[in-house]
Structure 1
Amino acid sequence: MNLKGVCVIVLMILAGQSLFAQKYELGEVTIEELKETRHPIDSSASAAILFKTGETKFNLMNDGNWTVSTEVRYKIKIYKKEGLDYANKSKSYYVGGFRNETLNFKNAVTYNLVDGKIEKTKLKSDGEFKDEINKDVKVKKITLPQVRVGSIVEYSYVLNSPYISSLNDWYFQDNIPINYVEYNVYIPEYFRYRTVISGYENVEVENATINTGDFGQQKYGYKIKNVPSLKEEGYVTNIDNYTAILKYELASINYPNQPTKNFAVTWDDVVKSIYEHDGFGDQLDSKSYFEDDLKIILEGLVSEQEKIDTIFNFVKSKMTWNDSYGVVTDVGVKKAYKEKTGNVAEINLMLTAMLRYAGIQANPVLISTRRNGIAMFPNRTAYNYVVAGIEVQNDVLLLDATSKNAQVNLMPIRAVNWTGRIIRERGSSNEIDLLNVPPSKDNVIILGEIKEDGKVEGKLRRVLTDYNSFVHRENNIGVTEDSYLEKLENRYKGLSVEEYKVDNVKDLSKPIVETYSFTHDSDIEVIGNKMYVKPLLFFTLDENPFKLDQRKYPVDFSFPFKDAYNISIKIPEGYEVEYLPEAINAAMENNHSAFKYLVSAANNNIQLIVNLDVNSFYIPSEAYPALKDFFKLIVEKQTDRIILKKKE
């Protein structure tokens, strides 16, 4: 090997050593960093976190209680105007307990390059704000000064908490790329925590025993470099389910010469701790506040189904949800009943108690909402929602009275998330599947006619069932007909609607049925003596909703569905069909989705039948390429135009 080759190898080794030995400390900003105009790996990034480091330590106070102190440090580079918001930071903290959390920002500085020199601007008091989310949660915010494209901002915050049962989640990913993340946790020898790292990134984990101070500790270190940004992808309900996040949950405490105290080791332990809470189990036993009212509404009812429907509708009509989640009550069922408003637990524990009073075998069902995410392991914060469950044969009927439009076994979509856990009176519990919902139908029938100028006039009938009807009702609460039609015409450009009618809006047992006359002027292109017709008219899917080459996350369609279109179009006098798209009948493997397309022409009429069935609630990421190709086929077929030509 020549001398030049040896030098290159030495330089590469030194560069590698420099990378891993680099100090990630606040205040170390270079001119080269400030001159950087784009992220070296992700040129589309509007900003990047140059590093995010943190550490969590436990402190034993004089009164014998523990506090947990977490310090987090950020260094962020702004590349584009869209990235300026990353110079602002807000952080919430809890003040609703016997002992409050405290939060303080520090070391907040902006760096700019001015005349070839580094200019440093510190955060002043007018750049820090306090706010209150509710009586239990406050938030502090900072807005860094003198921030512009090219700036580097730094800050840190310290959160002190008396709550050791679960540590704050640590995020290794953000909406912008992160060059380096390091997090160290120092756990006293008395504590055992259950941990899990979610997501798809490979985090380096190491641990070591430390025997300094008043007690032994175990240090857990987590490192990762070049973390990609979280890409916006459609059909993802809660991106946190797939983000690289570290979770800590206290499993046990073992002090010297004392028996081990276990915490939420199993799902049974979780259920027991919730059931024994004053805001849960005791609320199910209380019935005096509703007895008189229930005697009246149940009078003369014999069948179990009548009682279920009557009680369910009574609670929905009487109670108004205050948008507050939780598996335990806030003010209690009695007060909530009197005030006619309550949180999720108050409304649905009340519903469960009433059903039991009527002789129905009803039990509460714990749920983690889509916003709360998937319960990774047994822990006390896994569930944030509770509904009523009625066991019938080998099934459980689910009832959620927080929504006026919910039906028996048709809960709000927010609550339909993987699995729930039913709690019986004797304390036993079982996991139940929440994804076993029937496909929701969207059936469209159109009788149309193409005019000489290329406009289409016709009549439409649309029938929406199950979740399609639920979503329609939820989205249009309090919306006037004029406002709804304006939205409809804006959604389908070129559409003009007349003689609109909708049935069964208030009768939840029946599907939504829309009928109207329409004119549409964007479906047909007239060129010379030919017309190019979109067969599905304004329902045509013009572009593939799945655009990414690769996808790490499963596709969540919220619910399975069956879309069916039956369209009959009369062609204008003097024209004939020159070209019809070919029929197709396609399906994905594992029956995830199916697509049927059939078009024919006879007696101056074009008949189109199209069916799209999405049978799977979730489609796994490994099936994404096939799903993308499947929808590409659908778009190609729907945009393949019928060609009409003038007769000679």
Structure 2
Amino acid sequence: MFKNNMLFLFMLFITNVYSQSLGIEEVTKSELKQIKHDKDASANAAILYKKGRTYFKYTTKSGFTSYTEIALKIKIYKKEGLKWANFQIPYYIGYKFLEDEAVDIKKAYTYNLENDKIIKVKVTGESKFKDKVNENWNVKKISFPNVKVGSVIELNYELKTENLSELPDFQYQYEIPVDKVEYTTRIPEFYIYKGIKMGYADIETDAVVENGSQSFDDEYNRTTTMNYRQIKTSYKAQNIPALQEEEYVNNINNYYSKIKHELEVVRMPEEDPKPIATTWNDIAKSIYSQKEFGGQLEKNKYFIDDLRLIIKETDSLESKMNKVFNHLKNRMSWDSNYGYYPRKELEKAYTERTGNASEINLILTAMLRLSGLEANPILLSTRDNGLAAFPNKSFLNYVIASVNINGKIYLLDATDKISNVNFIPIRALNQFGVLMKKDGTSEEIDLMPKRNSHISINILATINAEGEVIGKVRHQYLEYKGYIFKQKYDGFTSESIMENLEKMHQDLEVSEYNVQNTADFLKPIIENYNFKSTNSVEIIGDKMYVAPLLFFTITENPFKQESRKYPVDFVFPYQQKFNISLKIPEGYSIEKIPDPKAIAMPDNLGSMKYNSSTTGNQVQLLYTFEINQAIIGSEYYDALKNFYKEIINKQTEKIVLKKV
């Protein structure tokens, strides 16, 4: 009897451990009185404490389910920090064979100090609601009431998921400082995870093996006890600095410090250990074997008649590829949805002339194959989805097509009507994709452009006696620079583009605007307009000081941090060329022009060449700027920052004209 009572008390203790909320220290008056962060006076808010735990529960129906509980205490220092009062928790609802994930808000309060008393306001039901992001994701939103500068907000929530292939990320670095972090996982011995530390902030780790036990009702409603060993891992960190987002970053979420867990092995009692797919090859084979994916690529009756009209037997492989690509690009309309599984039959998508990324590009792959080309789909993660840190299906959210002709891989994406062969949309330029073949093998494909895109700017202008610069601009955009122009101004009138140019450049008047070749991707876009600039010349006494690059002059370095932990992402390499001819006003002579200069970054990552000369009353300027690699590692940050400093110094040197 004594033993049974002890067992009952033990089981009651285990149940209470799992059912109690994760506690953090009470909000104090000193925290509410704090007017700035101790270590980062510029911070608009700070996470005073973040505490988390992940544990597993067992039921006869679902087996093990993971629960991750998070408790947060956030201090608001400035008006800009008020955005933290609107909190969002995304959760996945796109499973086919598992229950949707669920978020439970356990506690949510706003704290303020009024008349030296702590006033605590609870978040009510109407301030907690869910919103659908897309077919795979929902988000739980919490709006904290009565938040102002000086407030502290407290949030405690729990995420439940049956997907054990990975555990929810535990992030411990943000755009604001974090004072203290604690995170604990208790993982039953049946699941072996690989813990991955991401980012640059240090965290202490400690792991021990301990006893675990759970009670549950079996299929006959009898209470059963399960005893097992489990691994308890503790993570702790303090004084984690904010990771500030700077110019030229693809997705800052890629670089925040966090803990990820990838399932490697499942080893149930009396069963052989079962390795989980941990390579892209395994994942590609698993996806391709699904009838919704690979099975769809085998069907072709619905487009075969169209294909006969599109291509001829005598067409070259390149000609067939281009004809099929252009046919599908013009026929189909993308519904703006991502995803690597079709949501409907490809035949239906083709008939309806609309589909998601998977549907359109799998149809493209199937058509290319039937044309006699070696075509395969490529799975990838888009730029806004983040980098695939390790092989896992959950990172993948997009499909493009590929063609192999004599060993050269061509990339195609028919979702975008202004894309072209080997010019996939910028959303898909996210380092690499996984090419999947019929035989179940795969290979990683570099998606980043290697060839420079070009901008060429020709200016012919005259400076008048009042210091106004009047002239003409001929602007050519090629490759991705042309793609961006088309994306930006698609559907704009000439008047709208002129207004935009005048907003971009201070004291600029634009007239007689026209643009050519916007419908032909293979030709450069040519932009012509007349201008009058009243902000490019400064008159002091009997001298004029002229900015040689006029309103195109760069005056601010985009790289301001002392150091940068994450890479600089220019999206694609590019070259910018200026050819400027300035006629000086009558009654003035040329006293000084900037000296020629050439500078280069290490390893030919970037360069600048600057030449100026005079002929009679004309000043001629030739300027070339190049970034030769799409992604530049953080180890080159100082060199890049100094490179831009030199560029700005050179661009802001003046032509000096003196009154005769």
Identify which of 355, 378, 385 aligns with 1:342: 355
Q: Distance in 2 between matches of 1:339 and 1:362?
A: 24
| 2:344 counterpart SS class | coil
The residue type paired with residue 172 of structure 1 is Y
Identify which of 588, 596, 599 aligns with 1:583: 596
Gaps in structure 2 of 5+ consecutive residues: 1-21, 214-225
Q: Distance in 1 between matches of 2:135 and 2:433?
A: 29
- Answer yes or no: is 1:514 the counterpart of 2:527: yes
- Answer yes or no: is 1:426 the counterpart of 2:439: yes
1:191-224 CA-to-partner distances (Å, cap 9, x unmatched) read 1122312111111111111113122211121111
Q: CA deviation at 1:138?
A: 2.9
Identify which of 450, 473, 480 aligns with 2:486: 473
Aligned-residue Cα RMSD (Å) equals 1.6
Q: Tell me what 2:166 maps to.
A: 166
The residue type paired with residue 77 of structure 2 is Y
Asked if the contact 1:277–1:328 (Cα under 8 Å) also holds between the matched residues in 2, the reply is no
Q: Tell me what 1:91 maps to.
A: 89
Q: Distance in 2 between matches of 1:95 and 1:563?
A: 46
Q: Distance in 1 between matches of 2:434 and 2:108?
A: 45
- Answer yes or no: is 1:402 the counterpart of 2:415: yes
Q: Distance in 2 between matches of 1:27 and 1:424?
A: 54
Identify which of 452, 466, 471 aligns with 1:439: 452
Q: Distance in 2 between matches of 1:187 and 1:645?
A: 79
Q: Tell me what 2:281 maps to.
A: 268
Q: Tell me what 1:180 maps to.
A: 180
Q: Tell me what 2:56 maps to.
A: 58
Q: CA deviation at 1:135?
A: 4.7
Q: 1:121 to 1:170 in 2, by over 3 A?
A: same
Q: Distance in 2 between matches of 1:547 and 1:134?
A: 37
Q: Tell me what 1:493 maps to.
A: 506
Asked if the contact 2:174–2:242 (Cα under 8 Å) also holds between the matched residues in 1, the reply is yes
Q: 1:382 to 1:133 in 2, by over 3 A?
A: closer
Q: Tell me what 1:40 maps to.
A: 38
Q: Tell me what 2:221 maps to.
A: none
What are the within-5 Å matches in structure 2 for residues 237-256 of structure 1?
Answer: 237-256=250-269
Asked if the contact 1:301–1:307 (Cα under 8 Å) also holds between the matched residues in 2, the reply is no
Q: 1:73 to 1:391 in 2, by over 3 A?
A: same
Q: Distance in 1 between matches of 2:343 and 2:295?
A: 13
Q: Tell me what 2:143 maps to.
A: 143
Q: Tell me what 1:10 maps to.
A: none
Q: Distance in 1 between matches of 2:599 and 2:322?
A: 41
Identity %: 44
Q: CA deviation at 1:512?
A: 0.6
| 2:402 counterpart SS class | strand
1:510-530 CA-to-partner distances (Å, cap 9, x unmatched) read 111112222222111122221
Q: CA deviation at 1:64?
A: 5.0
Q: Distance in 1 between matches of 2:484 and 2:469?
A: 29
- Number of residues of Structure 1 aligned to a counterpart in Structure 2: 624
Q: CA deviation at 1:299?
A: 4.4
Identify which of 284, 291, 294 aligns with 1:278: 291
Q: CA deviation at 1:437?
A: 2.5
Q: CA deviation at 1:316?
A: 0.8
Q: CA deviation at 1:49?
A: 0.9
Asked if the contact 1:444–1:463 (Cα under 8 Å) also holds between the matched residues in 2, the reply is yes
TM-score, normalised to structure 2's length? Answer: 0.92
What are the within-5 Å matches in structure 2 for residues 291-306 of structure 1?
Answer: 291-299=304-312, 302-306=315-319
1:177-198 CA-to-partner distances (Å, cap 9, x unmatched) read 1111111111110111223121
Q: CA deviation at 1:448?
A: 1.1
What are the within-5 Å matches in structure 2 for residues 192-231 of structure 1?
Answer: 192-213=192-213, 214=226, 215-231=228-244
Identify which of 76, 79, 87 aligns with 1:78: 76
Q: Distance in 2 between matches of 1:182 and 1:61?
A: 28
What are the within-5 Å matches in structure 2 for residues 596-611 of structure 1?
Answer: 596-611=609-624
Q: CA deviation at 1:71?
A: 0.9
| 2:385 counterpart SS class | coil
Q: Distance in 1 between matches of 2:83 and 2:437?
A: 49
Q: Tell me what 2:218 maps to.
A: none
Asked if the contact 1:583–1:598 (Cα under 8 Å) also holds between the matched residues in 2, the reply is yes
The residue type paired with residue 69 of structure 1 is Y
Gaps in structure 1 of 5+ consecutive residues: 1-23
| 1:90 counterpart SS class | strand
Q: Tell me what 1:8 maps to.
A: none
TM-score, normalised to structure 1's length? Answer: 0.93
1:545-578 CA-to-partner distances (Å, cap 9, x unmatched) read 2122221121111110110001111111221111
Q: 1:104 to 1:398 in 2, by over 3 A?
A: same
Q: Tell me what 1:235 maps to.
A: 248
Asked if the contact 1:265–1:378 (Cα under 8 Å) also holds between the matched residues in 2, the reply is yes
Q: Distance in 1 between matches of 2:111 and 2:586?
A: 73
Identify which of 337, 346, 365 aligns with 1:333: 346
